[in-house]
Amino acid sequence: MSESTVADTRRLNSKPQDLTDAYGPPSNFLEIDVYDPQTIGVGRNRFTTYEVRMRTNLPIFKLKESCVRRRYSDFEWLKNELERDSKIVVPPLPGKALKRQLPFRGDEGIFEESFIEERRVGLEQFINRIAGHPLAQNERCLHMFLQEESIDRNYIPGKV
Amino acid sequence: FYLFILIIKTYFFFGFGQSAELDIVISDAETRRTAEHKTEDGKKDKYLVFYDGETVSGKVTVTLKTPGKRLEHYGIKLEFVGQIELYYDRGNRHEFVSLVKDLAHAGELSCSQTFDFEFAHVEKPYESYTGQNVKLRYFLRATLGRRLNDITKENEIVVHTLCTYPELNSSLKMEVGIEDCLHIEFEYNKSKYHLKDVIVGKIYFLLVRIKIKHMEIDIIKRETTGSGPSVYHENDTIAKYEIMDGAPVRGESIPIRLFLAGYELAPTMKDINKKFSVRYYLNLVLIDEEERRYFKQQEITLWRKGDIVKRSMSQQATIAAQRFEGSRAANSSAKEDSS
């Protein structure tokens, strides 16, 4: 082998890219919106639900578009299921705000507009981070949360 | 009264200080090349560079602090030592090279004296290394034996181990991925690189279903000390080099061109005297939009190339032209194939 003071930095040969791949739609499209908070019920039995809308072209999700209504405790349920079954480090949820649920507050407590908005943003960040994780995408609980009308808490946990 | 003070002063000056000073001078110190080597506390010092088989010769000078006052000693000797020191076991310094030359038998020195020495064709099997948990060094140590305290002087040298181009140097090529999410094929042009080499490679994306933000290559040094049940690894990221910014799609090929000369690298050391190893890894890291990291580590071997004679400008131009001709011929034949 000849020794040379000029280093060989030529690129390795690679296959030319197919134009349909280069200009086609990306195969990693995943968008989840958490919006339209609605407070349902009266008095002490009120709770807030949020609309969770998902659009994707990942083949692992059965529906390419889905729209469901979920409340904070549903998100908590999802977090617990994933912490137990999957090996991922689950990101934190926005706070439980127990202090806001105590009586004798000057404001609306957990039904205060600014608090709901803060929580909405936190839940949107949470679900987007989870749903994009390849290991979380294997769990049945995530698919049930995002794409089924209601959550069956007696489901059999498992992988998709 | 003043005479008393004078006597006290002279006693302090001669009684408590060293009565002689040793100095070791290596014979070709002017012409020999030097290298900067890190000390244990991170400072950099210049040392003379020696290679395996080279003779180490020079002079040891004994300088008397008070000429005229005789210096009694039990012998003067010079040692050439190659030693491995594990920081967690400093009591046991392991000497793998130990040569002694007696410069003078027990006696008296009435004036400063110089002794010549030569350690012929000394074996220096390993490269000098100062790491996180272990140190391998070579040094000359002159000792003048005395009743209470010996007078010693050490002079450290640095040893480099040289290699030539390896006969077998296959490329590293592999397909890795996560089922149905991300499949890539990576290729590095060689598995053994010299310290001033260039890593040329490419990453080819077969399937991308995650949102990648950027991709980088890290060079990781792993120092392993100990053996059996008490093995200890120390990882250090020497370099981080971004090779792609933005989201790739299927079929895209990202080139890699990483110049090693810009980093502080030393040759791979495998199982040195069964005490420690220093190995290098290339770590390919992909980071997605949620800061999740996907990585693939691959070991490479680093070696030190001996200096070559610089060719003339016309010789270099001829070599470059030949390579250009070769690549042009390859491209035109490829075009014929695809049409």
Residues of A in contact with B257 (CB under 8 A): 9, 11
Residue A128 has pLDDT above 90, yes or no: yes
| pLDDT tens, residue by residue, A62-74 | 999 999 999 999 9
Do the Cβ atoms of B327 and A10 come within 8 Å? yes
Total CB pairs under 8 A between chain A and B: 88
Q: How far apart are CA B304 and CA B159, in angstroms?
A: 12
Contacts of B202 in chain A (CB under 8 A): 11-12, 14
CA distance between the termini of chain A: 54
A77-85, long-range: CB within 8 Å, 24+ apart, which pairs?
Answer: A77/A141, A77/A145, A77/A151, A77/A153, A78/A130, A78/A141, A78/A142, A78/A145, A79/A126, A81/A139, A81/A141, A81/A157, A82/A130, A82/A136, A82/A139, A82/A141, A82/A142, A84/A157, A85/A139, A85/A141, A85/A157
Q: Which residues pair with B36 in a beta bridge?
A: B46
Query: Is the complex ipTM more than 0.85?
Result: no
A 10 A CB-CB count for B97 gives 17
What's the token pair of residue A33?
Answer: 């919106």
Chain B residues touching residue A5 (CB < 8 angstroms): 308, 310-311, 316
The larger pLDDT score, comparing residue B320 to residue A160, is at A160
In degrees and rounded to multiples of 5, residue B50 shows phi and psi of -120, 155
Instruction: State whether A134 and B211 contact (CB < 8 Å).
Output: no
CATH superfamily for A20-147 is: Phox-like domain (3.30.1520.10)
Tell me the two tokens of residue B141.
């140590």
Read off the pLDDT of each residue in B176-182 and give the average, rounded to a whole number. Answer: 91
Helices (H), A58-112: 72-85
B53-70: pLDDT as tens digits: 999 999 999 999 887 788
* pLDDT of A157 higher than 60: yes
Q: Is the pLDDT of residue B133 over 60?
A: yes
| CA–CA distances in Å: residue A34 to residues A70, A79, A128, A154 | 9, 16, 10, 25
**Res. B332 pLDDT band, cuts 50 70 90:** low
State residue B339's pLDDT score: 43
The domains of chain B, with CATH numbers, are 18-159 (2.60.40.640), 172-303 (2.60.40.640)
Q: What is the pLDDT of residue B85?
A: 94
CB contact A133 to B (< 8 Å): yes
Percent of chain B with pLDDT over 90: 71
> What pLDDT does residue A1 have?
45
3-state SS class at B195: coil
Contact between chains at B249 and A22 (C-beta distance less than 8 A): yes
Q: Which of A2, A9, A28 sits opposite B210 (nearest CB)?
A: A28
* Shortest CA gap A46–chain B (Å): 34
Distance in angstroms (rounded) separating the CA atoms of residues B23 and B103: 13
Mean pLDDT for chain B?
A: 88
pLDDT of B297 reads: 97
Which B positions 185-224 lie with beta carbon below 8 A of chain A? 187, 189, 196-198, 200-202, 204, 207-211
Q: How far is B214 from chain A (nearest CA, A)?
A: 15
Residues B127-132 have a mean pLDDT of 95
pLDDT at site B202? 96
- Say what the pTM is: 0.82
* pLDDT tens readout for residues A29-51: 999 999 999 999 988 888 999 99
Domain segments of chain A: what residues?
20-147
**Cβ proximity of B283 and B218 under 8 Å:** yes
Is B24 a residue whose pLDDT tops 80?
yes
Residue B147 has pLDDT above 60, yes or no: yes
Tokens of B103: 């410069």
- Angle of helix A72-85 relative to helix A140-147, nearest 10 degrees, comes to 160
> Rounded mean pLDDT of B212-233?
93
Write out pLDDT tens, residues A103-121.
888 888 888 899 999 999 9
Which of B210, B311, B327, B338 has the highest number of chain A CBs within 10 A, making it the mutation to test binding with A?
B210
